[in-house]
Structure 1
Amino acid sequence: MVSIFNQFVDWFLKREEGTDEEGQGPLALMQDIGDVHVLIAEPEGKFASDEAKEALLQGLVIPLNERVGLSARRTAHVFKRTNKGTLENQFEDVLRDGRALLQKEGADLLIWGKVEPELQSVRWYFLSGIVGNANLGMPGFAENLLVPFEPDMGSLDVLYAAIFAACVPSHPSQALKIGEHLLNAVDPLTRLPAGLSPRKTSQPVKVSTMGMCAVVLANIARRAKELGWFDPALKAFKTWEDLVEKDKTPQEWALVNNHYGWLFEEMAAHKDDKQAAEHIEQAIRHFEGVCTVFTPKSYPLEWAAVQMRIAGMCARMGRSLSEPDYLQKAARYFKKSLDVYTQKRYPLNWADAMSHMAKALMLHGQMVKGAQSLEQAGVAFQAVLKVYTPEKYPAQWANTQNNLGATLFALAKRDPSTVAWIEHALMCFNEARAYYAENGKVQLAHVIDKNILRAQSLKEQIEENIENDLLN
């Protein structure tokens, strides 16, 4: 079967001749894309002169406004990241002030940055007006692209595609059109690396451009229906990886591995992926690599977030493949995150990690019919109720009561001689049901009613067996 990428190469050859298959202009493919409104902030840092700054910004705004689907305008605001605290702390002010500006101006995306005079470039960052995950980095808002003061066409093509990828998507078809354009315009596997002018493009800029190109293709693959979209993304990632050395730029290397892990995770989640288990293992290896740079000591919250990412990935695989080993592995990674997410310092993170760990153990126990995992799950759910109280977090409290009830019910079915388990399970189910009924959660109340009936039936059976044993 001809791959999607090969089809795009064929189209690209036609583009070089100046027309598409219908004899229209090279960007006819893009004509029905709705405009994305972009604000371009003045970058932080010093310029040689006001004229130089004006030339740089105009050299960006004018070409972008010539592109289909974009409306770019400048703002005099300057945004700065701090150099203290976690990565999230460093971007906290920009996230708050940037989104406020986007809302005020009615724009979709903010591009802000910092002048890198030694690289003759600006490091541009992307902030979507919609709160959400565009999957463009670790964390997403830290993703950036180095663009030379005098950008060549390849750099502008990648920036153009990155603008769309950085927006939280509302129309997946837009992403695919941008992907088609990017592949056809720059061909990230051969044409882009060779086409970046050595005079304008230093090695760090080349790495940044290739990286963003790979990330955009990965982002598009995630939104696409066809598994074939992952092929060019994987090849672009390999090109990016070959340009980055861990010893020289450890954070850049960690970023590559974080993206690589995410890409394999997305592949494994695709319904047509026949190598899901293999891709999950590759994702885990890449995420583990990230943790050699973002360590519990140097970046504790980032490290803990990666543990949660691996754990969640394994839990999903365990459920979808009915594979208990993945559920056990998920529980181990959730537990590792508790080295950072302590109950005292981060009570909500702790409760969330404990809840997920307990769910993985509960499913594992149900799957292998093992009492040990179920008992551990029950203890964990009980502990979580110290944080998720009915007064402060009623919805989480009710869900935890429901899960604890299911765990105790499973234990009671394994060992009918222990009446206390089934009685406690019924108490938990009834507590959760009362909340669901009071708050209009009709479907959840209906489901829990069935569990209550089954649990009540088991309780009656247990009591009857005990009575018969006494009579005999």
Structure 2
Amino acid sequence: MSTPEDPRTKFTKPLTRPGAGAPTRNLPARIEPQPQAQPEPPASEDIPGGSGGLARLLDAVAKMLHPKVPAKENPDPVPTPRAEPAVFTIIVAAMNGDNPDGAASQQIYKALDLRQTLKVKPLPRPFLLENAQDPAQVSALLINTRHVLVDENADLLVWGDVSKDGYVLRFAGSNLPDEEKPAVFGPQFRLELPLNLGEPQIHMLYAATLAAADPANEMQRAAIRRLLPPATQPLEALAVKPPVSLSMGQQRSILLTHAHVCTATALAVPPSQADEWFEKALNAYLAAEKRQGRNDPAWENGLLHKYLAASLTARAERIKDKALTYLQLAVKHWRIAAENLPRATLPQEWAAAQTRLGVALHRLDLLTGDSDLLREALGCLQAALQVHSRAEAPTRWADIMNSIAQVLEVYGEQLKNPEVLQRAIDACHLVLEVRTRDRTPLAWASTLNTLGSALFLMDRHGGGVAHLDEAAKAFEDAHAVFKAHGSKGPAQVAARNLGHVQKLLEERKGRAVIDPDWR
């Protein structure tokens, strides 16, 4: 009785030779340098599938590159160079729509398996969608993809569809995607590639995989800093002038991927090198926008502007001397994103656009002093709470409420209005019911710092020594946590704030009049 074939072996068989009922897949040689000492390659009959023309050709080439050297009587031991260890574990799922021989899935698997820094594992089943154009269906698959990653102890899943027109690939991590982050490869992001992958497309797939991976530790973060910039450079020619043989959708997808990868690179390199990568990302996003079709759904345009706005916001944060210019551009694109993303079918993306627009408006007000921006910011942040409720998403709810408290603090100071400042204080107290010193110490300390500032301003505009005492306690606790966790910048801010409050308390004590006791 024959043993049933393991479906995973489909990913590791030699590719089907031309004329055998499947299209040819042309892959370059492994990109990383190979060890100098190699064992003699086996004869063609020992290679799985050796009867194929491709296997015999590989056998012949291997013998040419590694000729047999006459053995010495007492050969000196030759140390084998140590291969670079794999840093990320990647799962490649079978492509939906692939042929029974799995050739299209093999091509993606082998393209990533070329890289020594990736440990690639096959998943011999596809993720099926009744309607791949329905964003709600795509988002619903997130639970299934996360389960696979947890079961396989992997970092990233590459899955998608294949047809005669090419690949539509998607990326999924083990955590829920944070739609507020720049260069996020969320469930709606697609990398569309032609059916036959050339070297430029394989480079793009590798760079996108690195950019989509969410580093879980310092070793992986260091690997991204080291690997991503050189992986991004070969994409320049493909992105500057996408081949006209590609469809408009494929061209747009390649440009969006290049923009995402450039943004991720800008966040990985030192600040002095970041602006060049941000500029490349901006140009690629704008080029992708020009390839939007008239009949494309509005939410596609909303996503593109969300990606662009997030990149510009990150650029404003890293390039301080041009922060005002980039923030103004970011606000423009956040507004377009918020208008075009539907809350009903893309609630996470819509809420992310509302939240980031509110935060960007707050920061823009700090640079311009325009109180109208603060009113708009409050409206955006409060709208986001319609999606992120305290009961269902307490962490995200607390983040948004903390931003609301910060906006109210600044707005109350501008208006010199104790009622607005009291709303800021109340918002901080609500946030502190979710953020605790034990679970989220740095976030807890950040909210305390906002609370202390609001109490200090309430004392200035509303009076009452009790507000200053509470402010001093808030700053003191915040400073202790920041210092304990090595957060030097916030610790210095909290220390300065505490110093101002303590000085004012001392001055008031010195001016206090002691009523005489007439008894």
TM-score, normalised via structure 1 length: 0.71
Output the CA distance in 2 between the equivalents of 1:205 and 1:293: 22
Question: 1:165 maps to which residue?
Answer: 211
Give SS of 1:110's match: strand
Aligned-partner residue type, residue 466 of structure 2: E
1:101 aligns with 2:147: no
Question: 2:384 maps to which residue?
Answer: 337
Count of residue correspondences: 421
Q: Give yes or no for contact 2:267–2:274 (8 Å, CA) kept in 1.
A: no
1:463–1:251 distance in 2 versus 1, CA, 3 Å: same
Instruction: Specify the structure having the higher radius of gyration (Cα).
Output: 2
The offset of 1:228, in angstroms, is: 2.0
The offset of 1:241, in angstroms, is: 1.3
Cα-to-partner distance string for 1:239-276 (whole Å, 9 max, x where unaligned): 211111364233332222122212222322233653x3
Give SS of 2:426's match: helix
Aligned-partner residue type, residue 300 of structure 2: E
Identical columns (%): 21
Give SS of 2:302's match: helix
Output the CA distance in 2 between the equivalents of 1:98 and 1:77: 14
The offset of 1:384, in angstroms, is: 4.5
1:236–1:61 distance in 2 versus 1, CA, 3 Å: same
Aligned-partner residue type, residue 155 of structure 1: Q
The offset of 1:132, in angstroms, is: 7.7
1:291–1:260 distance in 2 versus 1, CA, 3 Å: same
Aligned-partner residue type, residue 228 of structure 2: A
Give the one of 181, 189, 213 matched to 2:234.
Answer: 181
Output the CA distance in 2 between the equivalents of 1:438 and 1:40: 40
Cα-to-partner distance string for 1:398-435 (whole Å, 9 max, x where unaligned): 754553333122232345xx32xx31341354377579
Moved more, 122-131 or 150-159: 122-131
Give the one of 275, 279, 291 matched to 2:338.
Answer: 291
Q: Give yes or no for contact 1:405–1:426 (8 Å, CA) kept in 2.
A: no
Instruction: Flag the structure with higher helix content.
Output: 1
Question: 2:100 maps to which residue?
Answer: 50
Within a 5 Å distance, the mapping from 1:58-457 to structure 2 comes to 58-66=106-114, 69-70=117-118, 72-80=120-128, 89-103=140-154, 108-115=155-162, 117=163, 120-128=165-173, 140-168=186-214, 169-171=221-223, 172-183=225-236, 186-190=237-241, 192-194=242-244, 198=245, 201-224=246-269, 225-245=273-293, 247-271=295-319, 274=322, 276-317=323-364, 321=367, 323=369, 325=371, 330-342=377-389, 348-363=395-410, 365=412, 368=414, 370-372=415-417, 375-386=419-430, 388-389=432-433, 400-414=447-461, 418-419=463-464, 422-427=465-470, 429-430=472-473, 433=476, 441=484, 454-455=500-501
What are the ranges of 5 or more consecutive residues in structure 2 without an aligned counterpart? Answer: 1-28, 36-82, 215-220
Output the CA distance in 1 between the equivalents of 2:199 and 2:370: 51
Q: Give yes or no for contact 1:215–1:233 (8 Å, CA) kept in 2.
A: yes
Q: Give yes or no for contact 1:39–1:111 (8 Å, CA) kept in 2.
A: yes
Output the CA distance in 2 between the equivalents of 1:439 and 1:281: 31
The offset of 1:96, in angstroms, is: 3.2
1:163–1:387 distance in 2 versus 1, CA, 3 Å: closer
The offset of 1:215, in angstroms, is: 2.3
Q: Give yes or no for contact 1:310–1:330 (8 Å, CA) kept in 2.
A: yes
The offset of 1:298, in angstroms, is: 4.2
The offset of 1:38, in angstroms, is: 5.2
Q: Give yes or no for contact 2:471–2:501 (8 Å, CA) kept in 1.
A: no
1:87–1:409 distance in 2 versus 1, CA, 3 Å: farther
Output the CA distance in 1 between the equivalents of 2:192 and 2:293: 18
1:87–1:386 distance in 2 versus 1, CA, 3 Å: farther
Output the CA distance in 2 between the equivalents of 1:65 and 1:308: 39
Aligned-partner residue type, residue 156 of structure 1: I
Moved more, 26-35 or 125-134: 26-35
Aligned-partner residue type, residue 467 of structure 2: H
1:269–1:388 distance in 2 versus 1, CA, 3 Å: closer
The offset of 1:66, in angstroms, is: 4.2
Cα-to-partner distance string for 1:194-247 (whole Å, 9 max, x where unaligned): 4xxx3xx44433332333233223322333324222333333223211111364
Moved more, 77-86 or 173-182: 77-86
Q: Give yes or no for contact 1:126–1:166 (8 Å, CA) kept in 2.
A: yes
Output the CA distance in 2 between the equivalents of 1:136 and 1:453: 37
Aligned-partner residue type, residue 157 of structure 1: H
1:161–1:342 distance in 2 versus 1, CA, 3 Å: closer
Q: Give yes or no for contact 1:138–1:258 (8 Å, CA) kept in 2.
A: no
Q: Give yes or no for contact 2:239–2:255 (8 Å, CA) kept in 1.
A: yes
Give SS of 1:292's match: helix
Give SS of 2:339's match: coil
Cα-to-partner distance string for 1:77-127 (whole Å, 9 max, x where unaligned): 444579685975441221232243134xxxx43212234x3x533322223
Cα-to-partner distance string for 1:259-316 (whole Å, 9 max, x where unaligned): 2212222322233653x32322222222222222323444334322211112233444
Aligned-partner residue type, residue 294 of structure 1: L
Output the CA distance in 2 between the equivalents of 1:263 and 1:428: 36
Output the CA distance in 2 between the equivalents of 1:188 and 1:442: 42
Output the CA distance in 1 between the equivalents of 2:157 and 2:508: 64
What are the ranges of 5 or more consecutive residues in structure 1 without an aligned counterpart? Answer: 1-24
Q: Give yes or no for contact 2:385–2:400 (8 Å, CA) kept in 1.
A: yes
Cα-to-partner distance string for 1:307-347 (whole Å, 9 max, x where unaligned): 1112233444555x475656665444323423444556655
